[in-house]
Amino acid sequence: MAIIEIRSLTKTFGKIRAVRGIDLTIEKGEIFGLLGPNGAGKTTTIGMLCTIIRPTSGSGIIAGFDIAKHPTQVRQNVGIVFQDPTLDTILTGRENLQLHARLYGIPAQDRSRWIEEMLELVDLTQRADDLTKTYSGGMRRRLELARGLLHRPAVLFLDEPTLGLDPQTRARTWEYIRKMAQKERTTVVLTTHYMEEAQLMCDRIGIIDAGQIIALDTPGNMIDMLGGDIVAVKSPNPPLDIIRALPYVSAIKTVGETIEITMKSAHLHLAELLSLIDNVVSVEIRKPTLNDVFIRLTGRDIRQEDVENNGSWVETIARYRQRGK
């Protein structure tokens, strides 16, 4: 069942065409990632779906309600965690949730029970009666997640939910998001420009660039689209023509003394491949990432401006998951 249906959604600010006709259908229970560089139109799109920004043209239906015609009903059915923190820091954690509960019309007899449940879910029961200005960045984010889900929305929008958090906190925040999404089978739509996080978290991904969706698929399919694993072999004189002719090889790229071979099922064919190459100095196999997909599609790196400390925990989780399989 489709919970979100967007048709030719467009937003123009003066001369700037921030969103240029997006079509998208998101199913109930999906974790959907909207990926793209800064300024691609992610936040504007989410803003329109939450009825904060009025679309220039096009339509959007969320949980059966039209974003232009029935904004109040749409608001009732969505939760949102903004990119920048929006907690009331002079109130305690519990008071923030109480305010939200009233604003969203949660019946008085359910309020405190729902609030306790959410506090427990994000492990803030102990700190619930402290002012939120004493919270750490990760705790604030968790409380915002709890607040976003308190009124049991059909769709939860998360705009860069882990931006500005340190790697450990980011990993934990994702755990909470997953846990919460499972709890009520809430549909989650998130934006991020951390490709590795999206790859691990999302059922499906839409890559957005210059206000348009340029690719839409599961992370697995997107990566498969590149034609398999990347095997980097360092060798002084590899037989390029022979390698290129192999049925499972889809592309070859020479980078100095190293050749990067894109091939299907590297783990099955590696032995045969290496037997064809003399004087192998080193071999490295890596799975392509969504960032490789983005580079293939646009010719640019998605996060030119921030290549800082992500990666470490992502690798940890990736290893953990592989072990689990």
Partner 1 sequence: MNSLNVQRELLGISAVWWREFKVFWREKSRIVSSIVQPLMWLFLFGSGIGASLSVGSVNYRDYIYPGILTMSVIFGSVFFGLYIIWDRKLDVLKAVLVAPVTRISIFFGKVLGGCTDVLLQVAILFAFSFLFPSVNPWGIPLAFLFLLVTSIALVSLGLALGSLLESLEGFQVISAFLIFPLFFLSGALFPVDERLPPWLHGLVKLNPLSYTVDGVRGALLGINTYPFYMDLGILIFFAAAMLFLGSILFSRMN
Do 187 and 28 touch, CB atoms closer than 8 A? yes
99 contacts partner 1 (rule: CB under 8 A): yes
89 contacts partner 1 (rule: CB under 8 A): yes
Do 101 and 114 touch, CB atoms closer than 8 A? yes
Cβ closest to partner 1, residue 91 vs residue 225: 91
Cβ closest to partner 1, residue 99 vs residue 276: 99
Cβ closest to partner 1, residue 88 vs residue 123: 88
324 contacts partner 1 (rule: CB under 8 A): no
Instruction: Out of 2, 63, 68, 91, point to the residue binding partner 1 (CB under 8 A).
Output: 91
240 contacts partner 1 (rule: CB under 8 A): no
200 contacts partner 1 (rule: CB under 8 A): no
Strand partners, 216: 206
> What are the phi and psi torsion angles at 75 (to 5°)?
-60, -40
Cβ closest to partner 1, residue 88 vs residue 278: 88
Stretch in the footprint of partner 1 (CB under 8 A) among 79-87, 163-171, 188-196, 276-284: 79-87
Stretch in the footprint of partner 1 (CB under 8 A) among 14-22, 28-36, 78-86, 211-219: 78-86
Q: Which residues of 222-251 are buried (b: 16+ CB within 10 A; e: fewer)?
A: bbeebbbbbbebbbeebeeeebeeeebbee
72 contacts partner 1 (rule: CB under 8 A): yes
Residue whose token pair is 């931006």: 163
Q: What is the DSSP string of 119-144?
A: HHHTT-TTTTTSBGGGS-HHHHHHHH
Q: Which of 139, 135, 120 is nearest to 179 (CA)?
A: 120
127 contacts partner 1 (rule: CB under 8 A): no
Q: Would you tell me the crossing angle of helices 137-150 and 93-103 to the nearest 10 degrees?
A: 20
Cβ closest to partner 1, residue 87 vs residue 259: 87
Task: Report the interface residues with partner 1, using CB under 8 A.
Answer: 50-52, 72-73, 75-76, 80, 82, 84-91, 95, 98-100, 102-105, 147
